A and B are shown apart, each in its own frame.
Chain A
Amino acid sequence: MLKFENVSKRYLETGEVLRDVSFHLRRGELAFLTGHSGAGKSTLLKLIGVMERCSKGQIFLDGENLSHAKEKHIPYLRRKMGFIYQDYKLLQDRTVFDNVALPLVIAGYGHHEITRKVRAVLDKVGLTGKEKKFPLALSGGEQQRVGIARAVVNKPPIIIADEPTGNLDPELSAEIMRLFENYQQVGVTVLIASHDITLITKMNRRVLKLDHGQLVAS
């Protein structure tokens, strides 16, 4: 599903951030990406979302080569990935419904199709009845679930979460993790960047560990 082949990323200012990283996430696999801050976690995620391009090596998503993707093709690649962020990145002036509907609207779905899909996904993440609320009226855990609903509403084959539980207490974190496990069970590939060691140990899943830009365990 997601394959890194000898990927390096060098910035002019900070030098090499990722060095010769190779791994392969299979379809329906759930893995953690961990490492100390500055180890290159966020750079690796940016390479997956094609917000940055790698300096060396190649990245494949679902058989497509991200490193050679044309600028015009990037939006369509991003529709195959569900990104989840620590700060949720929700639009504060839109309702929960509108926030979750955004990827569907962008993909050109019709009105009733959007309503059906958004209701179904809000049901699944446990936000039934909150569709008309604004994000600021929700708790942190609920906002993160809106973020997850937006990421999965278009049924992407891969979910990439960047510190999804960073702002949540352990109980809420466990709930969010259960959601990810649900998606993994239906064949979605999930990659979670986190430095919450207790959570990672408890989950007992594959761990990709970065240290100074190099993959030390996978």
Chain B
Amino acid sequence: MNKNPNKRRQQTRDIKTPKYAKPAKSENRQNSEAGGGVADKLNAWRDLHAHALFSSLGRLVASPFSSVMTIAVLAIAISLASGFYLVLVNFQQLTNHLETSTQISLFLKEEVSDIRASKLLESIKNNPKVQQATLISKEQALEEFKTYSGFGSAVSALKTNPLPIVIQVLPKNSLTDKNELEALQHEFQQNEGVDQAQLDMQWLARLQSIIAVGERAAGLLNLMLGLAVVFITANTIRLELHSRREEVIIAKLVGATHAFIRRPFLYAGAWIGFISGIVAWFIVTVMMLILRSPVETLSSLYGGHFHLLFFGFVETIKLIALSTALGVIGSWAVLVYQLQRTKPE
């Protein structure tokens, strides 16, 4: 039968490829009597999928206005979700960075003199739990404040220096347990020269719990946005199905299975999700680029080494795969429901 398939193909090249394609899978009933070898049927199966893939893209291009509208809405929804994710990732980076710099700040009482302060510093340095301690005099503190706060001129107008002497204590690295750190803080607080001993972990803990709340909120939000993507795709496919109703009915009348009818629509849903994912990636990346310079200025003000994180390669692939999957799920849901109801008359 297939002695010379290439020649046969050559002969039939002038004929347009059939618009429909169909896999041999589970539909061998009629095929058993059909001519052509297994290779021919496999080719048919491949041609039909390829045809569904490209014809569904062609249909999107053929109605550019509605396609652009749909993809824009989906891309914005996806970029909101992925943007939140990226912001959270960046905040986590910030806290990871801070975690390694746990320190205790001792704000000394107003009446404590410089000499008394250096004595205190010495005793603190001798504490076996302390790795390092530095003294920031009132003048140093004022200079620093002038430089970094942006209130330079206002501070210059002050007649007296309102800032206290501060001793910054870096506990030993082995001291990571929260209770131990708090015990150390308590110990310093007992010293009569100390007005306030502040463990920086307190605000770190607060920041972490704020981020935990943010994570939960972003998770819920992303779930809702994901559902929105599914529903928007479903509605788009429903409209497409409606406008091609006659075609669907005729295909049913000549014995098309639901799987056969669904195929081009599923590909359409996949395309919509895929393109929206790519557009969303661009939206988020452009937004991060716009944010980069102010964020880095802010970071340098705090003397930090904070660099804005963008989508990595794996995350980009995940983002596009996920939005494609959501597009397919949306189309699948509406097709299962609508095809049962589209009956020939």
Contact = CB atoms under 8 A, between A and B. Distances in A.
A108 B36 CA distance: 11
Contacts of A68: none
Given A75-B256, A131-B15, 16 more contacts: A49-B253, A75-B257, A76-B27, A76-B30, A76-B255, A78-B255, A89-B253, A95-B16, A97-B16, A101-B18, A103-B254, A107-B255, A110-B44, A113-B36, A113-B40, A150-B254
Interface string A43-86: 00000010100000000000000000000100111110001000
A79 B255 contact: yes
Contacts of A163: none
Interface of B: 5, 8-9, 11-12, 15-24, 27-31, 34-36, 40-41, 43-45, 47-48, 246-247, 250-257, 260, 343-345
Contacts of A115: 12, 15
A107 B30 contact: yes
Nearest to A151: B254
27 contacts: A49-B253, A72-B257, A75-B256, A78-B252, A79-B254, A83-B253, A91-B246, A95-B16, A98-B18, A101-B20, A103-B254, A105-B18, A105-B21, A105-B48, A106-B251, A107-B31, A108-B27, A108-B28, A109-B31, A109-B41, A110-B41, A110-B43, A110-B44, A111-B17, A112-B8, A113-B34, A113-B35
Given A98-B18, A107-B34, A110-B36, A78 B44 contact: no
B15 A97 contact: yes
Nearest to B9: A112
A72 B255 CA distance: 11
A109 B34 contact: yes
B242 to A, nearest CB: 16
Q: Which residue, of A89, A115, A131, has the highest number of chain B Cβ atoms within 10 A?
A: A115
A78 B250 contact: no
B253 A78 contact: yes
Contacts of A105: 18-22, 48
Given A51-B343, A76-B30, A112 B254 contact: no
A94 B55 CA distance: 13
B81 to A, nearest CB: 38
A72 B36 CA distance: 26
A102 B41 CA distance: 16
Contacts of A112: 5, 8-9, 11-12, 36, 40
A94 to B, nearest CB: 6
B16 to A, nearest CB: 6
A132 interface: yes
A111 B47 contact: yes
Contacts of A49: 253, 344
The 8 A-B residue pairs whose C-beta atoms are closest, nearest first, are A110-B40, A79-B255, A105-B20, A78-B255, A110-B36, A101-B18, A110-B44, A115-B12
